[in-house]
Amino acid sequence: MAAARLDDRSDGLNWVAMGDSVTFGQHIDPELRWTTLVERRLADRFDGMVEAHNRGVSGETTRMGLERFPQDVQQLEPDLVTIQFGMNDCNCWETDRGQSRVSERAFQANLIEMIARVRRFGARRIILSTNHPTLRFAPMLSGEEYESANARYSELVREVAAEEKVDLCDIRRAFEAFSTEELEALLLPYPDQLHLGPAGNEVYADAMWPFVKQAATDLLDEGARVGGPSR
């Protein structure tokens, strides 16, 4: 994701989008990813005052994300961070004999540690997001349907957002307004039926935009009130 701000770093804001394949934009042209769509809106609205960094990695869990946190997030000292994980954490692999890749308690603890770390490195606004529904209803090795686990881990995200007092973009609820047929058009076709297609990325960007816009507005206004750079 290219920088959305062209002037000196100290005059603007730094946004890091941290997550898994949904943030990365797996199988989608980079120009069509939700992060790119939001980045363009930021550039238009704030005249290039927000520098954007996509730090999504396909296949990752929160545990794996924490391992790369120092180089991918902390060293950037972001003002604004969006955090999206859970679609891999809730999954069950044969090598784990049906155990979730990351347990519920560990998943929440990992999100809480991410929040603590970005706060320590200067982030003043943090947005957690739940995950969109999929059309994967086949039972996993645990016996639970993937989509049931996905919904359950989204509820864990809601709990962390409330506990840690950070913004929550409830992506899941935004997508639940669509019928099964409409959702099918937003996801990549069978056999995927999990990752977002171009239309799904547009819906995701529309849901995320009000939160990112408000955070950027508040932070830039805060910088203006103190009569100097935002940081």
In tens, the pLDDT along 5-38 reads: 333 345 689 999 999 999 999 999 999 999 999 9
Q: pLDDT category, 71, cuts 50, 70, 90? A: very high
| pLDDT per residue as tens digits for the range 166-183 | 999 999 999 999 999 999
Which among 1, 8, 229 is positioned nearest to 122, based on CA atoms?
Answer: 229
For position 224, what pLDDT does the model report? 60
DSSP 175: H
- Tokens 């062209």, located at residue: 6
Q: Quote the CA–CA distance of 100 and 92 in Å, as a whole number.
A: 5
If DSSP codes are grouped into helix, strand and coil, which group holds residue 80?
strand
In this prediction, residue 2 has a pLDDT band, given cuts at 50, 70 and 90, of very low
Helix 146-164 and helix 104-120, axial crossing angle in degrees, nearest 10: 40
**How many angstroms separate the CA atoms of 217 and 84, rounded?**
22
Strands, sheet with 80-84, edge to edge from the N-terminal-most edge strand: 50-56, 13-19, 80-84, 125-129, 167-169
Set out the domains of the chain in order of their start, with CATH numbers: 9-217 (3.40.50.1110)
Q: What is the pLDDT of residue 222?
A: 84
Q: pTM for this one? A: 0.92
Distances (CA, A) of 126 to 44, 94, 140, 187, 211: 22, 35, 32, 27, 10
